[in-house]
């Protein structure tokens, strides 16, 4: 894996909501192709605000988010025109939502959900769209005979996997995950994580994973940022941060997890 | 449409209680401005300040406002409802304009200068001298898939129309073919995707390069859109599932016409039925020209409207 050019660069990203409420402050990092960055912190620590800023959904009130758009190199995401940014969001990026209802079209079959991004970039051959949808549903371990079923007939774990297939079908370079295992029971969580880890490694997709679950970042991420009160309090390799936390808050966070 | 009528003309309808064509002149101006904008951007849904009309939404309030804004004293109006000139909606709208504008009305497609329609485009080809006004219940083709208006506007603005194909995909996945048979989405002027109003997809090819101006009015949604004469109108499809219109195995039971859109009519309570032209004017014209369909005798026996047995 080449580590020459970063895929994404955040420089002093901060967002203050109207009314003065601080969402996040002065967050800087570089994300390289194929790398998985974990962001942990307690509720209200600014994780989701930061993710929204990074994913182009919320314009930060300070700082810049840059993304490698190909030939032009790193470009400020919020300087791109809106159609350019939307194109980026549905081809090169993907967001796995905590609640699959936010990330899926619940009235459209699983196959249609997976095929949507293909059709959005101009694929107009039904047979090919369907073949690709079947292929991707297979990769996330959904049986081929469920391809025409509506997502609401699926279990929570399956919905989450359809959501992942729907995003990966466009071969994105960067995936944002907001609590990807939230609301799933432990055994389903473990399988989903296993699947995600395999897919991320196989495809070389870079990812930003926001979670409060340290087990998730332990399994998935290469590097870890610990956030508190909107600021990054500690940043380093995942194993280093989890095994040898330096900041008092990181120490508290790590020690709060029950060792089963 | 001849000499423009201005407010200064103080033109009055025949019963004197209403302004010419019901709407006040300022409202007509506003609608005409919207029409010009809509014609300038084919397929774009231009918002307009829709007025309350003396009838319920869903009865053609959008189409009537468009017609009222473009009609002139010398115009000849035809109103179609489901292809027929003699059904409730058609009769009452025709009577409305007769009363508030005093214009000539007709059932003959060729005689009309303005054709207001619901659910059909006439079988007879339209000419450059005609305007067809469609009544539109839901102007937004993406609405069923994307409920947010702010989002659909952006999708139109940026030509993000992948979602429209998701709908067609769902049809094929569930039924093996595209089962959307009416209000079949079209791409206008290689730019905007547009709902052609609930006409059968059989009529979609007639919109392609039509010599007549096509205007669409949606009263409840307060949107107007248009297709100028001789504009490219393409029905959306997949490469391996190309667009195709409905076909019929039998000719019209009354006039023997083929290649036209047919309605099924139940003849008795024993399951006997026949297919007849949906376009009643087209059917009448053919029967007057001497064409006799295979079920003409049966229809006459039952006193079917328009058949030889019809007392009228």
Residues B108 and B188 placed together within one structural domain of the fold: yes
Residue B189, domain member (yes or no): yes
Residues B259 and B284 placed together within one structural domain of the fold: yes
Whether the CB of B169 is below 8 Å from some CB of chain A: the reply is: yes
Cβ <8 Å between B169 and A111: yes
Q: Token digits for A147? A: 């391809």
Among B232, B267, B289, give the residue marking a domain's end: B232
Q: What are phi and psi of A13, to 5 degrees?
A: -70, 130
CATH number of the structural domain spanning residue B91: 3.40.50.11310
* DSSP 8-state class, residue B3: S
Residue B133, domain member (yes or no): yes
The 3-state secondary structure of B100-155, one letter per residue: HHCCEECCCHHHCCEEEEECCCCCCCCCCCCEEEEECCCCCCCCCCCCCHHHHHHH
The residues, any chain, with a CB within 8 Å of residue B173's CB and separated by 6 or more, are: A109, A111, A112, A130, A147, A148
Residue B239, domain member (yes or no): no
Residue entry with tokens 């930060």: A60
Q: Please, are residues B187 and B236 in contact by the beta-carbon 8 Å criterion?
A: yes
Enclosing domain of residue B251: 247-305
Among B232, B263, B283, give the residue marking a domain's end: B232
| SS3 call for B188 | strand
For chain B, the domain total comes to: 2
Residues B168 and B218 placed together within one structural domain of the fold: yes
Whether the CB of B160 is below 8 Å from some CB of chain A: the reply is: yes
A208 DSSP β-pair partners: A37, A176
Q: Please, are residues B121 and B282 in contact by the beta-carbon 8 Å criterion?
A: no
Which among B145, B163, B240 is the nearest to A126, CB-wise? B240
Residue B242, domain member (yes or no): no
Q: Classify burial at B114, counting beta carbons within 10 Å of its beta carbon; exposed 0-12, middle 13-18, buried 19 or more.
A: buried
Q: Token digits for B278? A: 């949906």
Residues B189 and B285 placed together within one structural domain of the fold: no
Residue B71, domain member (yes or no): yes
The pLDDT tens digits of the residues spanning B133-164 come to: 999 999 999 998 899 999 999 999 999 999 99
**Residue B201 and residue B198: Cα distance in Å, rounded?**
9
Residue B113, domain member (yes or no): yes
Residue B312, domain member (yes or no): no
Residue B285, domain member (yes or no): yes
Cβ <8 Å between B173 and A112: yes
Residues B208 and B75 placed together within one structural domain of the fold: yes
Tens place of pLDDT per residue across chain A (260 aa): 455 789 999 999 999 998 888 999 999 999 999 899 999 988 888 898 999 999 988 999 999 999 998 778 899 999 999 999 999 888 899 999 888 999 999 999 999 999 999 999 989 999 999 999 999 999 898 999 999 999 999 998 899 999 999 999 999 999 999 988 877 888 888 888 888 888 888 888 999 999 888 888 998 899 999 999 999 999 999 999 999 999 999 999 888 877 65
The 3-state secondary structure of B223-276, one letter per residue: EEEEECCCCCEEECCECCECCCCCCCCCCCCCCCCCCCCEEEEECCCCCCEEEE
**Quick check: pTM over 0.90?**
no
Whether the CB of B171 is below 8 Å from some CB of chain A: the reply is: no
Give the residue from chain A lying closest to B172, CA to CA.
A126
């Amino acid at each position: 894996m080449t580590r020459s050019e970063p895929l994404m660069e955040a420089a002093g990203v901060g967002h203050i909501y109207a009314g003065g409420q601080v969402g996040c402050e002065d967050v800087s990092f570089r994300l390289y192709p194929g790398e998985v960055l974990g962001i942990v912190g307690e509720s209200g620590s600014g994780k989701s605000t930061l993710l929204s800023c990074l994913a182009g959904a919320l314009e930060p009130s300070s700082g810049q988010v840059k993304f490698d758009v190909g030939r032009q190199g790193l470009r400020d995401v919020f300087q791109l025109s809106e159609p350019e940014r939307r194109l980026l969001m549905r081809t090169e990026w993907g967001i796995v939502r905590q609640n699959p209802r936010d990330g899926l079209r619940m009235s459209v079959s699983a196959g249609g959900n997976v095929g949507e991004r293909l059709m959005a970039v101009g694929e107009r051959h039904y047979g090919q769209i369907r073949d690709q949808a079947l292929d991707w549903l297979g990769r996330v371990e959904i049986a081929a005979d469920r391809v025409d079923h509506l997502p609401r007939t699926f279990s929570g774990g399956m919905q989450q996997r359809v959501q992942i297939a729907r995003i990966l079908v466009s071969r994105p370079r960067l995936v944002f995950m907001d609590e990807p295992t939230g609301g799933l029971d432990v055994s389903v969580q473990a399988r989903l994580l296993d699947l995600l880890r395999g897919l991320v490694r196989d495809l070389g997709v870079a990812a930003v994973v926001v979670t409060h679950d340290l087990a998730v970042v332990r399994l998935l991420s290469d590097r870890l940022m610990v956030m508190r009160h909107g600021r990054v309090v500690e940043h380093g390799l995942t194993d280093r941060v989890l095994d040898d936390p330096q900041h008092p808050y990181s120490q508290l966070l790590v020690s709060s997890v029950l060792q089963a | 449409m001849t000499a423009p009528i201005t407010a200064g003309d103080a033109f009055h309808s025949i019963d004197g209680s209403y302004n010419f064509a019901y709407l006040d002149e300022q409202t007509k101006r506003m609608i005409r401005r919207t029409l010009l904008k809509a014609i300038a951007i084919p397929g774009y849904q231009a918002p307009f300040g829709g007025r309350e009309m003396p009838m319920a939404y869903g009865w053609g309030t959008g189409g009537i406002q468009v017609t009222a804004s473009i009609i002139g004293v010398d115009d000849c109006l035809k109103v179609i409802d489901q292809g027929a000139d003699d059904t409730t909606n058609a009769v009452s709208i025709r009577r409305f304009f007769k009363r508030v504008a005093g214009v000539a009305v007709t059932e003959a497609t060729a005689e009309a200068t303005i054709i207001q329609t619901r659910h059909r485009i006439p079988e007879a080809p339209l000419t450059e001298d005609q305007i067809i006004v469609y009544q539109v219940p839901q102007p937004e083709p993406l609405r069923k898939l994307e409920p947010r208006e702010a989002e659909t506007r952006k999708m139109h603005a940026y030509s993000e129309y992948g979602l429209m194909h998701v709908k067609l995909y769902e049809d094929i996945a569930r039924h093996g073919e595209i089962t959307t048979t009416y209000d079949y989405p079209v791409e206008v002027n290689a730019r905007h995707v547009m709902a052609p109003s609930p006409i059968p997809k059989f009529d979609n090819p007639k919109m392609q390069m039509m010599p007549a101006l096509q205007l669409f009015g949606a009263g409840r949604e307060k949107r107007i859109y248009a297709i100028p004469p001789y504009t490219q109108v393409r029905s959306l499809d997949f490469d391996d599932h190309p667009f195709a219109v409905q076909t019929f195995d039998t000719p019209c039971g009354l006039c023997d016409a083929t290649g036209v859109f047919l309605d099924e009519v139940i003849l008795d309570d024993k399951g006997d039925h026949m297919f007849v032209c949906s376009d009643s004017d087209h059917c009448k014209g053919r029967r007057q020209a001497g064409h006799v369909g295979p079920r003409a005798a049966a229809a006459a026996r039952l006193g079917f409207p328009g058949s030889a047995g019809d007392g009228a």
